[in-house]
Amino acid sequence: MADKDSQFKGLKSLLTSEEIITPSSPDYQEASRTWSAKSNLQPSLVVQPKDLSTLSKTISYLATTTLDFRVRCTGVGNASAKDVLVSLVALKFFSFNDDDETITFGAGHTWGEIDQKLEKDAPGYAALSARCKFVGVGGSILHGGQSWLSHQYGLACDPQNLLDVQVIKLDGSVLWASDEPELLWALRGGGGGFAIATAYKMRVYKYPTSIFCGQIIFPPEAMPAIARETAAFIERCEDPKIALHLYCLDMTQGTMTSQEPNPGISIFAYDANGEEHGRSADGFKWALDIEGAIDMTHAVNFRQVNEAFGKIVHMNGTIVARKC
């Protein structure tokens, strides 16, 4: 077996200079960043094959070496390696089939990019995209894939939604997983350890273009009313187009000055039936009527709903996991 220097040289011979990122490259930090800082193994090389053929050759070559390598798509995952990190970021192809209401797209996308392309090429349709625009499609789909549409249509990985996955095996062969039904079965929620997923074919659905959503913020003294009314709402609401998230606010307030924390609370309301319904008794009127409520809701489209959660991306690469 050749030494590592020879193996790195062999790998580089398969790629153009534009497809190779070294620690001295200006793009290195972005290309190798992991959500958890401690997961970043500082790879010696990041490679971004420009097409499927080059990626196939890269994978089949790496599989014959002693180099430690991992594959990442996009988004906020923690894929890292000591030697070579293979990035799928260049796989950005996208198509919409109006006849069977499906989309086929490369693994290099984030869900925010898919939302944008659907809005442009297939207005009035929505995919089971993650509830956050910077999440990568691969990590989301292969591990389940929860969406605002999930109450109606299930998870992204469910058979009615994830129709096929294009993969590369370690020998470099490229195929659609439907040719091997057991492989496709494993990929639906089983993660990315069975093959390298390079593209997805998914069902899309006609969906409302005006959605009532946003935060309703409450003071700490509203906690008893929120607990009571939220429980009652969950008990009676059976509409799959309605959802809510509860958030604690200012959990560190007080503790930083050696005082008891006094957190407020926020409800993120979601109603795909539209703003009029969202403000009605069948929607979130109960929350808006709680004393002290600050209404920050509005009507937006599906892409804009997912973009509302984009601000937390600044934590990417800064989170440090702690042992309890």
Q: How far is CA 223 from the centre of its chain?
A: 31
Predicted pLDDT of residue 298: 96
Are the C-beta atoms of 181 and 143 separated by less than 8 Å?
no
Same domain (yes/no): 19, 122: no
The enclosing domain of 296 has a CATH number of 3.30.70
Of 164, 189, 206, the one marking the end of a domain is 206
Please give the pLDDT value at position 132.
Answer: 87
Residue position matching structure tokens 């008990």: 235
61: its two tokens: 């070559």
Residues 172, 222, single domain; the answer is no
Residue 315 domain flag: no
Q: Does one domain contain both 104 and 191?
A: yes
Per-residue pLDDT at 193: 81
Burial of 138 from C-beta contacts in 10 A (0-12 / 13-18 / 19+): buried
Q: What is the CATH number of the domain that holds 169?
A: 3.30.465.10
Q: Does residue 174 lie within any of the structural domains?
A: yes
> What pLDDT was estimated at residue 220?
87
Q: Are residues 179 and 102 in the same domain?
A: yes
* pLDDT for 1: 62
Say if residue 99 is in the same domain as residue 194: yes
Q: Is 105 in the same domain as 156?
A: yes
- Specify if 320 maps to a domain: no
Which residue, of 206, 227, 243, is where some domain finishes? 206
Cβ atoms of 108 and 138 within 8 Å: the answer is no
Domain edge (last residue) among 182, 206, 230? 206
In this prediction, residue 258 carries a pLDDT of: 57
Calculate the CA dihedral of residues 13, 58, 32, 84 and round it to 10 degrees: -80
Query: Which pLDDT value is given to residue 256?
Result: 47
> For position 48, what pLDDT does the model report?
96
Which residues, including other chains, have CB under 8 Å from residue 210's CB and lie 6 or more apart?
274, 275, 299, 300, 301
Full residue range of the structural domain in which residue 245 is found: 211-310
Q: Output the tens digit of pLDDT for each of the chain's 324 residues.
A: 679 999 999 999 999 999 999 999 999 998 998 888 888 999 999 999 999 999 999 999 999 999 999 999 877 777 899 999 999 999 999 999 999 999 999 999 999 999 999 999 999 999 999 998 889 999 899 999 999 999 999 999 999 999 999 999 999 999 999 999 999 999 998 877 889 999 999 999 999 999 999 999 999 899 999 999 999 999 999 999 999 998 887 655 544 455 666 677 899 999 999 999 999 999 999 999 999 999 999 999 999 999 987 655 444 445 455 443
Domain identity same for 154 and 60: no
Rounded Cα distance between 272 and 282, Å, is: 12
